[in-house]
Amino acid sequence: MVRKMELTHVNEKGVKMVEVGQKEVVFRKAIAKGRIKLKPETIRLIQEGKTKKGNVIASAQIAGILAVKRTWEIIPLCHPIPLTGVDIAFEFGKDYIEATCEVRAYYKTGVEMEALTGVSVALLTIWDMVKAVEKDEKGQYPFTRIEDIRVVEKIKE
């Protein structure tokens, strides 16, 4: 298959929201992942005490889900999509948390930007909630970083 190599959002007149009216309504799913590197001490503080962990994680999940739904407001050329379901889950490493966001819809265009936005905002929310322990004595963040945001699976049936 020869695919035409061009940027679909950019025509001679500038930027545009590309037409998807002729595309078929099919089941769409996308899974994105990403990580936030944290100090082991921060990971321990999040994990210690069920309530505390529950809340940091719940905050990140809720922020991520809300962001998934608002992707078309945040990313200028995305289409509004009637999403049917969103899951955000987390796995803990010694010095990182990995977020996975799965988004599903029956629609004319894919949902990978939604999944990527959900992962990004979930990780940013974790950062915000652990600022006090990640900062060094000069108020800087020598360890913290968000890494490896990627689409691990995109399905169209």
Out of 87, 95, 128, 148, pick the active-site residue. Answer: 128
Selected from 24, 94, 137, 157, the binder of a second copy by CB under 8 A is: 137
Q: Is 114 annotated as a binding residue?
A: yes
Size of the site for a second copy (CB under 8 A): 94
Applying the rule CB under 8 A, the residues between 19 and 38 that interact with a second copy are 19-21, 27, 34
CA distance 46 to 123: 14
Question: 122 and 64 in contact (C-beta within 8 Å)?
Answer: yes
Answer yes or no: 148 catalytic: no
Pinpoint the alpha helices (H) of 38-104.
40-47, 50-69, 71-74
Backbone φ, ψ for residue 5 (5° rounding): -90, 90
CB nearer to a second copy: pick between 3 and 94:
3
Applying the rule CB under 8 A, the residues between 57 and 86 that interact with a second copy are 57-59, 61-63, 65-70, 72-80, 82-86
Selected from 95, 96, 98, 146, the binder of a second copy by CB under 8 A is: 146
Beta bridge partners of 42: none
133 binds a second copy (CB under 8 A): yes
Burial 118-140 (b: 16+ CB within 10 A, else e): bbbbbbbbbbebbeeebeeeeee
56 binds a second copy (CB under 8 A): yes
Selected from 26, 40, 93, 150, the binder of a second copy by CB under 8 A is: 150
Find tokens 């020869």 and name the residue: 2
Task: Give catalytic residues, as residue numbers.
Answer: 128
